[in-house]
A and B are shown apart, each in its own frame.
Chain A
Amino acid sequence: MTISFEIPENVLSQLEMVKGAAEYVMRPLSRELDENEHARPDQFVQVTWGMMRDMQKRTLDKMANPEAGKKREGVSTATLRLMLMIEMLSWGDAGVYLCLPGGALGGAAIEAVGTPEQKMRFLKRFAEGEVPAWGAMAMTEPGAGSDTSAIRTRAVFDSATNEWVINGEKIFCTNGKLALEESNGLVVVWATIDPTAGRAGMRPFVVEAGTPGVTVTKTEIKHGIRASDTAAIVLQDARIPADNILGSPEVQHGEGSGGFKGAMATFDATRPLVAASALGIGRASLEYVKEVLQANGVEIRYDLPYHKLTALQRDVLEMEAQLKAAYLLTLRAVSLLDHGEPNNLESAMCKAKAGKVITTITQKAVEMLGSIGYTKETLLEKWMRDGKINSIYEGTDQINTLIVARRILGYSSKELN
């Protein structure tokens, strides 16, 4: 083992193809889809559906036959691939990227805590068939955001019918409408089986499209990532099969807080990918700023001392260094995952940093380009609006900072909250 920043050749060549989609399919759709919130980006879905389906199929094949996959490669490049792909797609358009067909966060949760049987049963829809499907995760409620122990959605087991009966309201569910109304998708719903138990009572349930009693009641009108739907979902006596509760029987029957820990493990894998999306928006903004500055005679150089740089040049260099720092922290979190090592601390670090950096960079970019930055004739103002969500979802910057603090101090959530 040695320190290396070398991205494998085959990952880079795959990225070139993604770049094509980002540049020629996503960018031209950007403004229109921002103006018409929730209009499904059909052209993008058509272009990417086949690739996403094949990727999911390979993952499932590997699951079915884990030995064959292991022999082929020593260290995985799966997460690295995903990170760079998401960065590139978000460089294209972060809102449209979220409409990528597949399991998304719901799929990630199933992969992280589902049994082999459940993975096959639930993920197959993303790996085959003639039409795309989407997955989503529903955790947040009107009264429960970062504090997930306040979740009130309730799951009660009905032994007469061997079903779970779920009641409650979920909000801010990314792709909820795509998953439940526009495809034969699914939503992983977090609910409590014991409201007095706090986090220990929390369990993930797979709720499939078409389940009676499940309604998308609203899609939010948002600041950014407007191409992606953010749904409110009401579950009213929604009945799902007994084995739609995710995880092994031990997890299901609440050995410790296994179920909740499973959710948190999902975040270790998905946070760097959210950071990757932020990085793509950041790069788009920075590249554009440099382009405009260059057209106006301002060159960014790396061979001048402080006193020979204008304030404008200094700002760009600072933005560039910050973006690079966030990129490298994300790369580290991803690389640990691919090496099969724990990355809870590094994952929270990169997300907290990327959230902060993307917010600052995109807001600064609008300021720097003055009236060009503030007009809708360019995409800069949109990138500023799109960027902000990365400070908020998948753990706010504050929650991620709190996780970093607990890890470096060796404190439990009781000791530091």
Chain B
Amino acid sequence: MVSFTPSDDQKQLIETIRRFAINDVHPAAHEADEHAELPAHLIETGWKIGLVPTAIPEELGGLGEMSAVTGALAAEELAFGDLSLALSVMSPALFAYPITLYGTAEQREHWLPQFLEESAPRVTAALLEPGIFFDPRELKTSATRDGDKVRLNGVKATVPNAENADVMLIYARDSDNGQIDAYLVQKDTPGVSIEKKEDLLGIRALPTYRLALSDATVDAPCRLGGAVGCDFDTILNRGRVALASMAVGVARAAFEYARDYAKQRVAFGVPIAQKQSIAFMLAEMAIEVDAARLLAWDAAYKLDQGDDVTREAYLAKQYADKAVLEVTDRAVQVLGGYGFIREYPAERWLRNGRGFPMFEGLAII
């Protein structure tokens, strides 16, 4: 039966994150962006919401509930607070979820229990690569088999928290058959080096790095899923739906702020929201936010049904990529001069929103 109402548990989760976003995240987001650093207590509180532990299998002590719909709802709400924070809080999932989905029994038992701890494990994942012709299905980073070892070579971009990670999931293309695999790599592996910390237009509070792999050699069993490998398309699709939901969160933050501003800003004797040119912009922003959200929900729902959602995830992300840019830009416009001032959040949302078409593999549900 078609329904657009979240379950009571989901509503409670949304409410918890929303309160956190409004009370704690919004007041801190400007400083975090300016100083390129997220306050540690926000990351801790975000971790304690418990998204990742919920998804860890029951036999390992988690709740075994990896719902993409719940993930989409949480991702939107966290990004409504702040995109850097949302990406940071959900980044342990970049490591934990693929292992939950495709890890061998050994990999799951070895890596997953630490995600039930008080504080987040020091992990990350590396998919993106530098350059304008990035194609996740045709990665340039190579994995070459050499007896019972695998040699990794290439350069990875926008790897979140790489400096502080002890271990990472690195995606590479098999030199023999072209298949995309993920490898569990300790950061202190010889040949793994951080090239530089990136200086980005947006998501500035999230530390991201460029990572070089030069004959970084791991044991063959470090391949995610062992001999079977992983379903890379599904990992990609889950990532796209997560990012689409985050784009909705950013867009919604911008829309709500612009709406409230327009109702109190007076020009020509009335609130500017009473002028059709402003009111219509706001109405169109509201429609685009809702439309983007429904596309993300539809893809998430089908993920939970076990369907192949390559089309749905692609369309959801493509739509959200455009919607978030349009909506955040309109928010800046509604704020006029204030939209251009960094003290006000609209321009930050525009800078964050602009990143989505480039983002890939930075989040997962």
Binding site for B on A (CB under 8 A): 1-8, 75, 77, 80, 302-308, 317-318, 320-322, 324-326, 328-329, 331-332, 334-336, 338-339, 349, 352-353, 401-402, 404-406, 408-409, 411, 415-416
Most buried by B among A6, A324, A331, A334: A324
Residues of B within 8 A of A3 (CB): 3-7, 10, 69, 297, 301
* Sample (12) of A-B pairs whose CB atoms are under 8 Å apart: A2-B3, A5-B302, A317-B318, A320-B315, A321-B295, A325-B294, A325-B295, A334-B2, A402-B280, A409-B263, A411-B279, A416-B279
Could you tell me which residues of chain B, from 260 to 275, have a CB within 8 Å of some CB in chain A?
Answer: 262-263, 273-274
Most buried by A among B69, B295, B315: B315
Most buried by B among A308, A317, A404: A404
The 8 Å CB contact of A321, one of B133, B286, B310, B318, is B318
Residues of A within 8 A of B310 (CB): 302-303
The reply to whether the CB of B227 lies closer than 8 angstroms to some CB of chain A is no
Question: How many residue-residue contacts, CB under 8 A, span A and B?
Answer: 137
Q: Known contacts being A75-B1, A332-B294, is A405 close to B283, with CB within 8 Å?
A: yes
The reply to whether the CB of B342 lies closer than 8 angstroms to some CB of chain A is no
Quick check: which of B76-84, B95-103, B110-118, B134-142 contacts chain A, the rest being far away? B134-142
Main secondary structure of the interface of B (DSSP, over half): helix
Is A409 in contact with B273, judged by CB distance below 8 angstroms?
Answer: yes
Could you tell me which residues of chain B, from 275 to 303, have a CB within 8 Å of some CB in chain A?
Answer: 276, 279-280, 282-284, 286-287, 290-292, 294-295, 297-298, 301-302
Q: Known contacts being A329-B291, A408-B282, is A402 close to B2, with CB within 8 Å?
A: no
Residues of B within 8 A of A303 (CB): 137, 233, 310, 314
Residues of B within 8 A of A77 (CB): 1
Q: Which residue from chain B places its CB closest to the CB of A415 in the assembled complex?
A: B274
The reply to whether the CB of B35 lies closer than 8 angstroms to some CB of chain A is no
Bound form: Cα–Cα A415–B274 in Å: 6
Is A4 in contact with B294, judged by CB distance below 8 angstroms?
Answer: no
Q: Total interface residues on B, using CB and 8 Å?
A: 46
Could you tell me which residues of chain B, from 61 to 79, have a CB within 8 Å of some CB in chain A?
Answer: 69
The 8 Å CB contact of A328, one of B10, B134, B233, B291, is B291
Bound form: Cα–Cα A335–B4 in Å: 8
Q: Separation in Å of the B8 CB from the closest CB of chain A? A: 8
Bound form: Cα–Cα A305–B283 in Å: 31
Is A4 in contact with B2, judged by CB distance below 8 angstroms?
Answer: yes
Bound form: Cα–Cα A80–B3 in Å: 11
The reply to whether the CB of B259 lies closer than 8 angstroms to some CB of chain A is yes
Q: Separation in Å of the B293 CB from the closest CB of chain A? A: 9
Is A302 in contact with B311, judged by CB distance below 8 angstroms?
Answer: yes
Is A80 in contact with B2, judged by CB distance below 8 angstroms?
Answer: yes
Is A408 in contact with B259, judged by CB distance below 8 angstroms?
Answer: yes
Is A324 in contact with B295, judged by CB distance below 8 angstroms?
Answer: yes
Residues of A within 8 A of B228 (CB): none
Bound form: Cα–Cα A304–B283 in Å: 33
Residues of B within 8 A of A304 (CB): 135
Q: Known contacts being A305-B135, A305-B136, A411-B274, is A331 close to B280, with CB within 8 Å?
A: no
Residues of A within 8 A of B291 (CB): 325-326, 328-329, 353
Residues of A within 8 A of B357 (CB): 306
Bound form: Cα–Cα A352–B280 in Å: 11
Is A4 in contact with B280, judged by CB distance below 8 angstroms?
Answer: no
Q: Separation in Å of the A307 CB from the closest CB of chain B? A: 5
Q: Separation in Å of the B314 CB from the closest CB of chain A? A: 4
Q: Which residue from chain B places its CB closest to the CB of A328 in the assembled complex?
A: B294
Residues of B within 8 A of A1 (CB): 3, 5-8
Is A307 in contact with B301, judged by CB distance below 8 angstroms?
Answer: no
